[in-house]
Amino acid sequence: KVHLPYTVVDVGWWYQVNLPKLPSGRIDYAAMGTSDGIAGDGNTLFALTDLREIGNYVARIIADPRTLNRMVLAYNEVYTQNQVYDLLERLSGEKLERKYVSAEAIAASIAEIEATQPAPDSFEFVTLAQYQYWYSCGIRGDNTPEYAAYLGYLTTHELYPDFGWTRFETYVQEVLDGKGKRVYEHLKDLPAASANLKSSQVTFE
């Protein structure tokens, strides 16, 4: 045995891929639109991280002896999809359509694509990943500090309470002010994981 030291770093879902598009098209330049809808009832919490701050997180984590042979979740805030929509509506003054998609419909789409065994470099493979993220974060609730703690993770909130992270609301306002930037520019024409699935749309009162 080589006893090779390690540190595993996981991050929250990026701010930059979690904004739905506005009816006006005002933030289309920056919104990736990875999903056209809300998973389940939209009330499942998930951790969020600003992509621009991941490097700073990693620099502190790997230099910290407390993280030796440990797993660490680096995240800024925790939101639900409904809260993301609420925030964007409040800051933009626009009303967003909310298309709720059942867990069963998302799982069926995952199974359908997996059955085709898409090549890793295909659009179908990326679409599969979109649906899997949607299910994991929006239905199962895998991406939370509580679940990370259950798995034995440390979190950056407990390790570095002094870390000056950017609030999600601040990022949203930057995008509305025209200061955002699209990630994965080469995938800008990829269709979003769609809410228009067979038996997918449901309404939660």
pLDDT tens-digit map of 102-111: 999 999 999 9
R_g of the chain computed on alpha carbons: 18
Tally Cβ neighbours within 10 Å of residue 98: 16
CATH code (residue 18): 3.90.25
**Structural domain for 92, as ranges:** 7-100+142-191
Q: What is the pLDDT of residue 200?
A: 39
Query: Do the domain assignments include residue 204?
Result: no
pTM for this prediction: 0.86
Query: Do the domain assignments include residue 158?
Result: yes
Query: Do the domain assignments include residue 196?
Result: no
Structure tokens that stand for 129 in this block: 């990943």
Given a cut of 80, is residue 152 above it in pLDDT? yes
Strand partners of residue 155: 73
Query: Do the domain assignments include residue 171?
Result: yes
Query: Is the distance from CB of 42 to CB of 98 less than 8 angstroms?
Result: yes
Q: What is the pLDDT of residue 142?
A: 96
Query: Do the domain assignments include residue 82?
Result: yes
Query: Do the domain assignments include residue 161?
Result: yes
Q: What is the mean pLDDT of the chain?
A: 90
Count of domains for the chain: 1
Given a cut of 60, is residue 43 above it in pLDDT? yes
Query: Do the domain assignments include residue 31?
Result: yes
Structure tokens that stand for 104 in this block: 């069963």
Higher pLDDT, 49 or 194: 49
Higher pLDDT, 183 or 9: 9
End-to-end CA distance of the chain: 57
Tally Cβ neighbours within 10 Å of residue 151: 10
Given a cut of 70, is residue 187 above it in pLDDT? no
Q: What is the mean pLDDT of residues 63-76?
A: 98
Higher pLDDT, 153 or 189: 153
Tally Cβ neighbours within 10 Å of residue 162: 5
Query: Do the domain assignments include residue 116?
Result: no
**Using alpha carbons only, what angle is made at residue 184 by residues 183 and 186, rounded to the nearest 5 degrees?**
135
